[in-house]
Amino acid sequence: MPKQFGQADDLTTTNLRKQGDVALEVGRGEGALDVDEFFELLGDVRDESATKSDDEKMETNMSTPVIVHSVLSVPVESDGSTSLPRAAESNEAMPQPDTTTHSSSSFTTAPQEAEALDTLCVRSDLPLRESLSTQSESQTVSLSDFQALVQKMKALERKMASDASVLLNQRMKVLEAHMDSDTSVLLYQRVEALEVHLDSDTSVLLNQRVKALEARMASETSTLLGQRVKALETKMDSDTSSSLDRRVKTLETKMASGPLPWLNQQLGKLETKIDSKISALMTQGKADQKSISTLKKTLESSQARIWSRLDKITNRLDKMHNRIYKIEGRLDKIKQ
């Protein structure tokens, strides 16, 4: 039974998920930064910033809106989410960043502004893991530390993007192979069905058109042939009459001007043959006449003999009749 569209022998949703998890583990093994490492890195930066002197820090009220260069949002499916939101309302009009999804965590970045700001603020909306869970008050971070954190986060984003692209490429290749297989099977089936349908429709349509064409050709051919025959007859009549007239006139002209030399020769030869035939016939006639006279004499003598014999036979018959009459008379007397 052929596979339906969207099915394959070795490709299922579970297999795709397993392949995605394997690719994620490979990416982590190659040095990708996971969520736990991110929180540890963020805690180290904040601890270092808390130990620095007050003259190297610039305090800022947490409730005052400020512009933040980069907003990093790290939602965690199992333990909640921790985000570094944009504090200034003026940045709401900025274009939304691209989002790259990697297994159980996702990172979202916003574009950086060109100018450098003297004051940056980091506010924790949700409690951080372990070291950050007890810190609820406002804290300040120096510009250099925050820039270092931003650079590390950028490196993390690049790494995550590359890992995600590798995973997506793998899954896309598998999906493309699956789609190619299903599409080829489906197209082959549809082409076969279409060919059968077209063959049947084409044969029926051709038969109908051939029949209509035959009927039309028969009617048109008969009409056309009748017209052409009539035209040909008229043309032949006119051509024949004119041609015969010309030939008769030519023959009359030749006969009026006299026989041609070859005709004279032919006539001479014919006359010679006729004369020879006539002489031969005369000779044969004379011989036949002699034989006829001989036969006539023979016939006359034979006829005389035949008549004499007939006379004798008649006499004998008369005698026989007389004798019969006599015998009959005697018989009559005897009966009486």
Instruction: Report the percentage of the chain scoring pLDDT > 90.
Output: 1
301, two tokens: 């003598």
Q: Who's near 3: CB < 8 A, 6+ residues apart?
A: 9, 181, 182, 185
Q: Which pLDDT score, from 0 to 100, does residue 14 have?
A: 56
- Segment 262-273 shows an average pLDDT of 84
Q: What is the dihedral of CA 10, 12, 17, 22, to 10 degrees?
A: 0
**Residue holding tokens 């994620």?**
24
Say yes or no to pLDDT of 260 above 60. yes
Q: Which pLDDT score, from 0 to 100, does residue 34 have?
A: 54
- Segment 130-155 shows an average pLDDT of 68
- Minimum mean pLDDT among 37-46, 174-183, 240-249: which range? 37-46
The torsion angles phi and psi of 108, rounded to 5 degrees, stand at: -125, 130
* 258 DSSP β-pair partners: none
Q: Which pLDDT score, from 0 to 100, does residue 119 have?
A: 37
| 97 close to 110: Cβ distance less than 8 angstroms | yes
Longest CA–CA span in the chain (Å) reads 210
Q: Who's near 230: CB < 8 A, 6+ residues apart?
A: none
Return the number of other C-beta atoms located less than 10 Å from residue 146's C-beta. 20
d(CA 162, CA 33): 12
pTM, to two decimals: 0.20
- Segment 288-303 shows an average pLDDT of 88
Written in H, E and C, the secondary structure of 4-17 is CCCCCCCCCHHHHH
pLDDT tens digits, one per residue of 143-169:
888 888 888 888 888 888 888 788 888
Q: Which pLDDT score, from 0 to 100, does residue 20 have?
A: 56
pLDDT tens digits, one per residue of 2-44:
444 444 444 444 555 565 565 555 555 544 455 566 666 666 6
Rg (CA), the chain: 69
Going by their DSSP bridges, the two strands 72-76 and 105-108 should be labelled as antiparallel
- Segment 96-111 shows an average pLDDT of 40
189, two tokens: 């089936």
Domain residue limits, the chain: 13-171, 307-336
- Segment 189-216 shows an average pLDDT of 82
Q: Each residue of 194-207: b (16+ CB within 10 Å) or e? A: eeeeeeeeeeeeee
